[in-house]
A = this chain, B = another copy of it.
Amino acid sequence: MATGTFAQSIQSPNGRHTVAFQLTPAGEPTYQLTIDGKPVVKPGKLGLSIQNLPALTRDFKIEKTDTSTSSTVWKPAYGEVREIKDHHRELAVHLRHVSNVSLILRFRVFNDGLGFRYEIPAQPNLTYFIVTDEHTEFRLNGNHKAFWIPGDYDTNKYPYSTTLLSEVDALTVSNRHTEIGTRSPIGKNYVQTPLMMHSGDGLYINIHEAALVDYSAMQLQVDQQNFTLTSHLVPDAVGNKAYVRTPFKTPWRTILVSNKAVDLLNSKTILNLNEPSKITDTNWIKPQKFVGVWWEMHIGTATWDYAGTQDMYSPEILSNLKPTGKHGATTANTKRYIDFAARHGFDGVLIEGWNTGWEDWFGKWKEDVFDFVTPYPDFDVAELKRYAASKDVKLIMHHETSGSVTNYERRMQDAYRFMKENGYETVKTGYVGRIIPRGEHHDGQWMVNHYNRVAQALADQKIMLDAHEPVPPTGLHRTYPNWMASEAARGNEFNAWSVGNPPEHETILPFTRLLGGPMDYTPGIFEIKMSAYKPGTAFQVHTTLAKQLALYVTMYSPLQMVADLPENYESRPDAFQFIKDVPVDWDDSRVLAAEPGDYIITARKGKGENTWYVGAVTDEEKRAVPINFDFLNPRQDYLVTLYADALDAHWKDNPMNYTIQQFLVTHNSIVKVILAAGGGAALKIKPATEEEKKRVKRYRERR
């Protein structure tokens, strides 16, 4: 047995990060993390509380420690890059508690950060147990600037606040956002992960978790004097945190850190900390772009429901619905979207509001809402199956659960059979509303297990998944590659009917939500101002049109919506061309420059193509950003098609003016692109043909 003063440390493969473990004299496990000798987290405590056991926070002794190094390469089924290197050093500290419980703390240090977790191995006298609390501290080294959303058990649809840790006021922010239907804020000083920070000494730090399986999500309590963050697990209906058995492991707690912001965006550490794919044959999983009967409901020109909500107090009316004429998901309207998808080469058509139940689905906390197999009378499932197949377009089914998950679990096997019978290979799920089982939360263990159960059940049926309103992702798309995207943040739809998303929103999401996995943000809105549909309304998308194009590159998702109305695209075929061209699967991705809350410039190379795409987005500030093309093949000239904000563009005053230019570049080029306030730019960069080399001018500036 080692003594309490024993300390052990390991370094990242590049030698920059050091994690050190030590037991205090009282037998308390502590760890610290430094980068380049600078503290990232100061010695902070670790521990668990388990029902009917003394707290596992002190009175430990070290039985042994193991260290190892691992360097492997794996290929994702699809993704931002063709292959991913997993190079880390590991330290496993085997502890024995005075109560005789055996606990392992496992640390893995990568070149861009740290992951660590608790493990309780199989052992006599401890099999099933209830985790009542986790006591993980992140003792930060100062009052960092933080990009945060309020700690909340049921929603992550807040816009980000940027404040010092000492200024976090989550309740005030939460209470301001009444446009979010279901909020369960925890308290003033609670925030969610991924939590992005920027320290006074120039470090970019992100705290999140990886591989959230059979456990509740971790939120963070902020000590606003000492800048210590403490894990706060989402409780269940009776206040417990997790029901588990040995051998047990928590999710990984992750700390990404670098002096360069782009390193965090390029990090694959969270993916590396997840388990390999459980799906052996992934050939059926197809990254895709899709259109759908959707935005028209958000802008209010159509409805999910067929009969409106009038008179719903009478059950006779429910059983004899009278259409309002505003129903979006009709056979005819769906065919219009199928035709649109076929005309422009999009893979899928999502239809929301196809099934009965929307007349009184929301806010009742009622259990029986949707049955997921009964279409409205004006939605002809068989005819649409035939029609979509004739156009080589796939239909995407929508399963809104309204939060009544017990109901969904009863019905989902039948629903998936119904999907397969009718040609649907992708499902978009939704969890709008308070959860049933009542007292459970969106981010608690029971729901975490549900989301994972759905992913597995869908994998068994070879169905792809896009989950809305789930727990924030933690890299599980590695393990369930059919779980292609999630919402789990404030998406573009908020711009249609609320104060919306401020221009900086899309410069923060990649530093926060997207670190856990792809987001179905639904980019591509061309008609920026809602006053186009409803005169007088101030609602609008808080970007320029060009920035909407850029999002297809800066916001990675293998399931990317082309979200606006067909007519808004077909009236702007030149700008629309970028959306038609941009891939959803990549051989390579490189974030070129980024500052959270300010701007992001990302370059990606299309899967199996020799073509690159660049997206650049800014916040509410206009800026000229240099794009360095040194990622290009030096032996090649390239034709750039630049989709940029017009010189007079501005997210608020003139959002829809854009310009499209073509010019030639080489790997030596640095192109300055002007991004309007709330603007962006999208670039397609393909090897120039001889004809293009003659016809098109070279970009004038060079390094």
Contacts and interface: CB of A to CB of B under 8 A. Distances in A.
Contact of A313 (B126, B240, B360): B126
A406 interface: yes
Interface stretch (A320-328, A434-442, A478-486): A434-442
A438 B439 CA distance: 9
A439 B122 contact: no
A608 interface: no
B247 A315 contact: yes
A410 to B, nearest CB: 5
Contacts of A313: 122-127, 246
A367 B449 contact: yes
Interface string A114-129: 0000000011111110
A409 interface: yes
Contact of A365 (B124, B243, B315): B243
A313 to B, nearest CB: 4
A658 B35 CA distance: 88
Contacts of A409: 406, 409-410
A365 B440 CA distance: 15
A694 interface: no
A236 B439 contact: yes
B237 A122 contact: no
A446 B406 CA distance: 10
Contacts of A382: none
A366 interface: yes
B237 A437 contact: yes
Given A409-B410, A410-B409, A364 B438 contact: no
A338 B336 CA distance: 64
B449 A122 contact: no
Contacts of A122: 313-315
A360 B413 CA distance: 27
A245 B443 CA distance: 28
A406 B409 CA distance: 8
A126 to B, nearest CB: 7
A238 interface: yes
A20 interface: no
A388 to B, nearest CB: 29
A123 B413 CA distance: 37
A437 B123 CA distance: 28
A518 B337 CA distance: 58
Contact of A437 (B124, B360, B406): B406
Contact of A438 (B128, B238, B414): B238
Interface in A125-146: 125-128, 130
A406 to B, nearest CB: 6
A312 interface: yes
Given A313-B122, A314-B122, A366 B439 contact: no
A123 B311 CA distance: 9
A397 to B, nearest CB: 20
Interface in A522-565: none
Interface in A426-466: 437-440, 446, 449
Interface string A361-382: 0001111000000000000000
Contacts of A126: 313
Contacts of A125: 313
A130 B240 CA distance: 25
B237 A364 contact: no
Contacts of A365: 130, 243
Contacts of A128: 360, 364, 366
Nearest to A450: B406
B243 A367 contact: yes
A122 B367 CA distance: 19
A631 to B, nearest CB: 47
A317 to B, nearest CB: 9
Interface in A57-77: none
Contact of A237 (B124, B238, B406, B410): B238
12 contacts: A122-B313, A127-B360, A130-B365, A238-B439, A240-B438, A243-B364, A367-B446, A367-B449, A409-B409, A413-B413, A437-B439, A437-B440
Given A238-B439, A438-B446, 11 more contacts: A124-B313, A125-B313, A127-B312, A127-B360, A128-B360, A128-B364, A236-B438, A237-B437, A245-B315, A409-B410, A437-B446
Q: Which 5 A-B pairs have the closest CB atoms?
A: A437-B437, A237-B439, A237-B237, A128-B364, A127-B313
